[in-house]
A and B are shown apart, each in its own frame.
Chain A
């Protein structure tokens, strides 16, 4: 029964949309329902979902995807400066420009595979970052980051007779300010785009195109021997995921019109890799879970300090409370990196398939508990799980 439900696209989309749009409610108990973090969940969710189309389906590990995020942001801010504060052209342009870069970088990088591919993407990303930070400052405004200002030309706005008289203009979607409703409007714009992005990713996963990509992942050589040219498929996947990153970058700039070079650093590229692996590579939902977890750590865990810990454990007797605070405090606040590192290790050691695998285990366990029996493949199907075991260790030849 579940199997059928989970195989049906409209139903998945319905559930998914409901979960995403109601995030401000169900994230409240975690203290994560304020607009900025919600926006980040949605935007980096798009980034990770897109990255997963490349890495999850084809197994090509790109270490340079943040480049496209950065290019998307710069394009969007330039669109705000030169054309209009309306975010629609900005986002569209961001996707187009980062797509073009993805074509070039992808075409060159995909001439190699394995770690050689990874290093090529990394090298392109590092070059983009270094140049954006220094030599290209006239375009990127270097370390300070590209910002909008009152004096910008904004040709389209000027033609429509929109003038900014006071202070720095804000982004809008056909007049409705993105920052309105205390920032929740921005979240809903991002959330709707996330839902669309997720739907496209779902379609790709379940299309013949997606099947071919997975076939490339499981054995590219075999594919080639059958006379199948894998390159166009790989490049398409690369460009699609680059455009997803561009969309995410454009959205970041739309919600907060500032673009900095650090968005393109290798650590930023590494972050999306970690999000995807942490959640579950090649699963549909996994990257989103990974994103949520990492962004939550970055924003909430890093802000806990001793006095807040004391109030958290205030229900305990004094002595115990002090002990708890002493035990916990190295892992929060300035120690949030430590916790993140430990989580990476624990998840990978015990759950090779990421959080999604953990959920699958949990689901099966509960199912057995309530005696439903039947197929174990329920979530696998939804997750479109490509079990890690079948891509084992190929560098040593199929053992």
Chain B
């Protein structure tokens, strides 16, 4: 029972990450009709916003390291610690959550520049061209990051106070082995919050209404004299921010490296398609569903019956769903079917 419970929690936690990444991708699909292969790179950029912010906070003076005698080596002492003492240390400790504030404007800017500078010219082009150009962009972004940050993962610890596990079992009066890392619980809550915010934004604001109308029938909305284009630019910016925030918060779970975006790219596409192209609800549903299934498929009891199932479960489910439900879980007719 405890084992099942913790696996459910784990599935939800994974699902939160999948849903969040897929949400941004669906926004660009649904509104702009662009297959954005650089979405994974945007996720990675988000994580590197946290890294960069941490680097800025720990901007250091170099002190000669006397312990190394073979050659000249230097130790680093952050200015923040020099100036503010313990407060400085605390600020550095909280660098990951604080970098959200840093990431939002940065990612928004990146998104708007990307849309105005590149994506805009590809609305009327074939999907193949969109794929190639955004894939090229993803490689370029990756290589730039590698140039400055190297290829190795960079540790980004969560704040000290939430670096351990929450004793859920003890809290709820269950088995005391039932623990779950605080940061992952925070991530789950965070992803629900962002998903809720995006939905509320689209549902309850005039802006959102126009965007939804534009997603459903762009021509009619344009005939009504509404500048859909400008709004779509903003939507692309929002999608970029969502991808970026997903990355920022993921940094403590997965030490960021320049290649992490590619690792998530395929997965996020599968989630989006299983959910149904252009359906935000579908993306979220599919994200959580695949997270749960992956978690359960990795249980030893399951693996002993079906060896290797944990490696392919996501793709297997994708195949089955697409064959049974032609447009994914909640897809609409006619979207991306040419």
Q: Are B318 and A119 in contact (CB under 8 A)?
A: yes
Q: Are A115 and B336 in contact (CB under 8 A)?
A: yes
User: Contact string, A98-121, partner B, CB cutoff 8 A, digits 1/0?
Assistant: 000000000010011111100110
Q: A193–B335 Cα gap in the complex (Å)? A: 40
User: Contact string, B65-89, partner A, CB cutoff 8 A, digits 1/0?
Assistant: 0000000000000000000000000
A7 at the interface (CB under 8 A from B): no
Q: Are B132 and A344 in contact (CB under 8 A)?
A: yes
| Cβ-defined partner of B139 (8 Å) among A113, A126, A135, A341 | A341
Q: A116-B273, A119-B269, A335-B143 are in contact. Are A391 and B126 (CB under 8 A)?
A: yes
Q: A300–B135 Cα gap in the complex (Å)? A: 22
User: Chain B interface residue count: which class?
Assistant: 35 or more
A274 at the interface (CB under 8 A from B): yes
A277 at the interface (CB under 8 A from B): yes
- The stretch of B56-64, B101-109, B171-179, B326-334 in contact with A is B326-334
Closest to A338 in B: B143
Q: A114-B336, A134-B311 are in contact. Are A61 and B136 (CB under 8 A)?
A: no
Q: Please, which residues of chain A bring their CB within 8 A of the CB of B219?
A: 399
Closest to A353 in B: B129
Question: Which has the most chain A C-beta neighbours within 10 Å: B118, B129, B316, B338?
Answer: B338
Q: Please, which residues of chain B bring their CB within 8 A of the CB of A126?
A: 266, 312, 315
Q: A122-B270, A392-B124 are in contact. Are A116 and B326 (CB under 8 A)?
A: yes
A393 at the interface (CB under 8 A from B): yes
Q: Are B315 and A127 in contact (CB under 8 A)?
A: yes
- In the assembled complex, the CB of B2 is this many whole angstroms from the nearest CB of chain A, namely 29
A348 at the interface (CB under 8 A from B): yes
User: Chain A interface residue count: which class?
Assistant: 35 or more
Q: Are A131 and B137 in contact (CB under 8 A)?
A: no
B138 at the interface (CB under 8 A from A): yes
Q: A273-B131, A345-B137, A388-B129 are in contact. Are A115 and B35 (CB under 8 A)?
A: yes
Q: A111-B323, A114-B336 are in contact. Are A130 and B312 (CB under 8 A)?
A: yes
Q: Are A337 and B277 in contact (CB under 8 A)?
A: no
Q: Please, which residues of chain B bring their CB within 8 A of the CB of A92?
A: none
Q: Please, which residues of chain B bring their CB within 8 A of the CB of A384?
A: none
| Cβ-defined partner of A115 (8 Å) among B143, B147, B273 | B273
Q: Are B319 and A124 in contact (CB under 8 A)?
A: yes
Q: Please, which residues of chain A bring their CB within 8 A of the CB of B244?
A: none
Which residue numbers of B lie inside 8 Å of A, CB to CB?
A: 33, 35, 118, 121, 123-129, 131-133, 135-140, 142-144, 147, 218-219, 262, 266, 269-270, 273, 277, 307-308, 311-312, 315-316, 318-319, 322-323, 326-328, 334-338
A-B contact pairs, 24 of them (CB 8 A): A61-B131, A108-B319, A114-B336, A115-B336, A115-B337, A116-B277, A116-B336, A119-B322, A127-B315, A131-B312, A134-B311, A135-B307, A135-B311, A273-B132, A277-B129, A347-B132, A348-B132, A352-B125, A392-B125, A392-B126, A395-B127, A395-B335, A395-B337, A396-B33
Given contacts A130-B315, A345-B136, 10 further A-B contacts (CB under 8 A): A61-B127, A61-B131, A116-B326, A127-B319, A131-B311, A135-B307, A273-B132, A388-B129, A393-B124, A395-B336
| A-B residue pairs, 10 tightest by C-beta | A344-B136, A341-B139, A135-B308, A394-B338, A338-B143, A123-B315, A114-B337, A345-B136, A130-B311, A341-B140
